Chain A
Amino acid sequence: VIDPARVAASVRALPTPSAAVARLHALARDPRSSAADLDATIRPDPALTANLLKLANSAHFGLRHRVGTAREAIALLGVRRVCEVATSAAFAPLIPDRLPGYDVDARAFWGHCVAVAVLAERVALAGDRGARRGAPDLLFTAGLLHDLGKLAVAAFVAEGAGAILGRVRSGGPFAAAEREVLGVDHGEVGALVAEAWALPPPVAWAARWHHAPAAAPEEARPLCALVHVADALAHSLGLGADAGELARAIDPEAARLAGASVRTLERVASESLDAIGEMTRALGAGGGIG
């Protein structure tokens, strides 16, 4: 079991996203803020702006024309959407070349993040029911960042790899094995990271409960259920395979809450694969990913 003080120190030692991100989320919550405020927050950070534009032009966001400036992105995507894209753009460069313990490289990890964000939104919006209900606030961001705890906990997972993989091989979920061996899992640590980075509550919710959506408080449960299902679907399709492979348990109640049927999942999977690949590749060398 890892001393919680070591975990906290590891969270503090992580590189932090551009300060613009927390400021953008504060602006998005403030009804008095304008597109100009958002633009003034993004523009001074050229690395953030570059990645933001690469992602904003991905097919998933559905822009009819390519945008070349943050201002255009805000005008066409809206304030809330640009906050989501900017958070993703700021997160990508923080992913290390390899995550020890999880045995995954930056490109595969980023691909998994993108897959979960895209799949969660598309499952949420699938069918007439989804169109009526809409997606929970910040679902894309929460899906993209659901595994951010792995950045802080990877070194401890590597230390305990023998015991963790032993439990996984004898038939248990990876996250449960983390908890048994380390005393914490990447979800719990992810919530700490989200708070340390001053990200909005849905990010911490999805991180904390994506493996146990039933334990989430009521207001967080629909979002956590969708991320749970999207995470499972992404792993099922081999998008972001890591040391945990397929060792994860599905909560049937969460699947029901997410409105996911076999048919819906298969259709969403087939229709999302190209968009996921394109968005994953949008941040290639120079974007901070491998």
Chain B
Amino acid sequence: VNLVTVDIGDYRVSAEPGDVIVTYALGSCIAVMLHDPVRRAAGMIHYMLPLSETSPEKAKARPAMFADTGVPLLFHAMYALGCRKEDLVVKVAGGGALYDDGGLFNIGKRNYTILRKMFWKTNVLVAAEDVGGARSRTVRLHVATGRCTVASQGEETPL
């Protein structure tokens, strides 16, 4: 097994059957995971913030930092591997929150809301998700099988 690590604010795709794509400590960030069982390819983004208007300069240098500029890039990277949109299985994890009644740190919720809006507009269905809560998550996606796991609070469960 070859681990392909996705850093915060980055995305990776792979069509190598031996690869496992992993990202660590999602916190309020969100991972979108794509798997194509026909083409046997997979991709993952670990974005940090909802909107690129927060820092247009950063968005130019690191588009995968933001949902609105990053998620389309991930889909296009999959298409470049020969994937078709209708074959993609989409999973989502992360978007955690602190105990914050004032809502100052609702980055996770904002990250999730913008993603749902984008998916609704572009007719993308989410097959499975594990979002929210005072939890940090590490997710793994197996390129060959599409098997996906979420590790959090000392337990690893399939998604």
In the bound complex, how far is the Cα of B99 from the Cα of A245, in angstroms?
12
Chain B residues with Cβ below 8 Å from A169 are 153
Contacting residues, chain A, for B1 (C-beta < 8 A): none
**CB-CB under 8 A for A266 and B107, given A236-B27, A237-B29:** yes
Q: Once the chains bind, are A246 and B55 in contact (CB under 8 Å)? A: no
B residues contacting the other copy or chain, number (CB 8 A): 38
- Judged by a CB distance under 8 angstroms, whether A89 is at the interface is no
For residue B136, which residues in chain A have a CB less than 8 angstroms away from its CB? 235, 238, 241, 245-246
9-residue interface stretch from A74-82, A133-141, A267-275: A267-275
Which residues A240-266 have CB closer than 8 A to chain B?
A: 241, 243, 245-250, 252, 255, 260-263, 265-266
- Whether the pair B135, A245 counts as a contact (CB closer than 8 A) is yes
Partner of A246, one of B8, B50, B65, B97: B97
Q: Whole-angstrom distance from the CB of B121 to the nearest CB of chain A?
A: 22
Cβ 8 A contact of B8, one of A235, A238, A245: A238
**Number of inter-chain CB pairs below 8 Å:** 113
Q: How distant is B123 from chain A, measured CB to nearest CB, in Å?
A: 28
Residues in A whose Cβ lies below 8 Å from that of B83:
none
Residues of A in contact (CB 8 Å), total 35
Q: Which residues of B contact A243 (CB under 8 A)?
A: 154
Contact B8 A236 (CB under 8 A): no
Contact check, B108 vs A270: say whether CB atoms are below 8 A apart.
no
Residues of B within 8 A of A237 (CB): 8, 27-29, 48
A241 and B134 in contact, given A250-B105, A270-B49, A270-B55 (Cβ under 8 angstroms): no
Q: Pick from A247, A263, A269: contact of B134, CB below 8 A.
A: A247
Q: Is the CB of A245 within 8 A of B152?
A: yes
Question: Residue among A236, A241, A261 with the most chain B CB within 10 A?
Answer: A236
Report the Cα distance A173→B108, complex, angstroms: 18
- In the complex, whether A232 has a CB less than 8 A from a CB of chain B is yes
Contact A250 B153 (CB under 8 A): no
Question: Nearest Cβ distance between residue A232 and chain B, in whole angstroms?
Answer: 6
Is B98 within 8 A of A266, CB to CB? no
In the bound assembly, the distance between CA atoms of A216 and B38 in angstroms comes to: 59
Alpha-carbon gap, A249 to B102, bound state (A) = 10
B92 within 8 A of A: no
- Residues of chain A within 8 A (CB-CB) of B107 are 236, 262, 265-266, 269
- Across the interface, which residues of A come within 8 angstroms of B8, CB to CB? 237-239, 273
Given contacts A246-B97, A247-B99, A266-B49, contact A260 B104 (CB under 8 A): yes
Complex: A134 Cα to B139 Cα, angstroms: 40
- Which B residue sits closest to A246, measured CB to CB? B134
Are B154 and A165 in contact, CB atoms less than 8 angstroms apart?
yes
Question: Are A265's CB and B48's CB within 8 A?
Answer: no
Which residue of chain B has the shortest Cβ distance to A266 in the bound complex?
B54
**Is B101 an interface residue when CB atoms closer than 8 A count as contact?**
yes
**Partner of B98 from A250, A262, A274 at Cβ < 8 Å:** A250
B152 touches A250 (CB 8 A): no
B150 within 8 A of A: no
- Assess the B100–A249 pair: CB atoms within 8 A: yes
B54 near A250 with CB under 8 A, answer no
Q: Contacts of A271 on B, CB cut-off 8 Å?
A: 55, 58
User: Which 6 residue pairs across A and B have the least CB separation, nearest first?
Assistant: A238-B25, A252-B102, A241-B25, A238-B27, A250-B100, A245-B136
Name 12 A/B residue pairs within 8 A (Cβ), A-sorted: A236-B96, A238-B27, A241-B24, A246-B27, A248-B99, A250-B98, A250-B105, A252-B100, A252-B104, A262-B104, A271-B58, A273-B65
